[in-house]
Amino acid sequence: MIEEKKKRPPTGQFITTQFNLLLGWARKFSLFHYPFVTACCGMEYMSAACAHFDIDRFGAGWTRFSPRQSDMLLVVGTITHKEAPVLRTVYDQMTEPKWVIAFGTCAVSGGIYDNYAVVQGIDQIIPVDVYIPGCPPRPETVLDGLLKLQEKIQHQDQDWRWKKKRS
């Protein structure tokens, strides 16, 4: 009987799901990220991205150095007022759907640099989805932040008809 089943390919097997959930599942495991690295947190980003901690395990392994090809913006490090227009432009160039991670205390809140030059948190310039604290954050914290973002993507309303939005 078992031998019989092995010979024939399974038929009539299907799963039911919602299109929204399916799209979320696909999107959360295919994050192309753009690293906007400005400061020392970049070392921790490299550590998280390379083989030891390997964010590729979570589907975010492909680094794109063009904002137009990426959908996850990693803001890694201190953002100054001089650099703020650049970051804003990079964010605007990314195509929808897009998500932003503030990586490290400086990107989250300005960190120790409460002075004339530094933006006090990138959420003053662009919307942020996940904040990863730490100065710098350990790679485990980064992975935790990535999982949090995946959870958010899975459960959000997947707007997929970008050019056909109802008014």
Partner 1 sequence: MEEKTILERLREEFPAGVKDTLTSLGDEVAVIDKEALLQVATFLRDGPAEFAMLLDLTCVDYAGEEPRFEMVYHLFSLSRNRRLRIKTRLGESDLRIASLTSLWKNADWLEREVYDLFGVHFEGHPYLRRLFMYEGFEGHPLRKDYPLRRRQPLIRLKE
List residues near partner 1 by CB under 8 A.
81-82, 84-85, 88, 115-117, 119, 123-125
Our CB check for partner 1 shows the closer of 87 and 132 to be 87
Our CB check for partner 1 shows the closer of 41 and 119 to be 119
Our CB check for partner 1 shows the closer of 82 and 155 to be 82
Cα distances from 14 to residues 5, 17, 20, 24, in angstroms, run: 17, 10, 17, 19
Our CB check for partner 1 shows the closer of 69 and 85 to be 85
φ, ψ at 76 (rounded to 5°)? -110, 100
Q: What's the min distance (Å) between Cβ of 123 and partner 1? A: 7
Q: What's the min distance (Å) between Cβ of 127 and partner 1? A: 9
Question: Residue 85: exposed, middle, or buried by beta-carbon count in 10 A (0-12, 13-18, 19+)?
Answer: exposed
Q: What's the min distance (Å) between Cβ of 14 and partner 1? A: 47
Start-to-end C-alpha separation, the chain: 59
Give 102-118 as a DSSP string.
Answer: EESHHHHH-TT--SSSB
Q: What's the min distance (Å) between Cβ of 88 and partner 1? A: 6
Sheet bearing 72-76, strands edge to edge: 33-37, 72-76, 99-103, 130-132
Our CB check for partner 1 shows the closer of 119 and 132 to be 119
| DSSP secondary structure code for residue 137 in this structure | P
Q: What's the min distance (Å) between Cβ of 92 and partner 1? A: 11
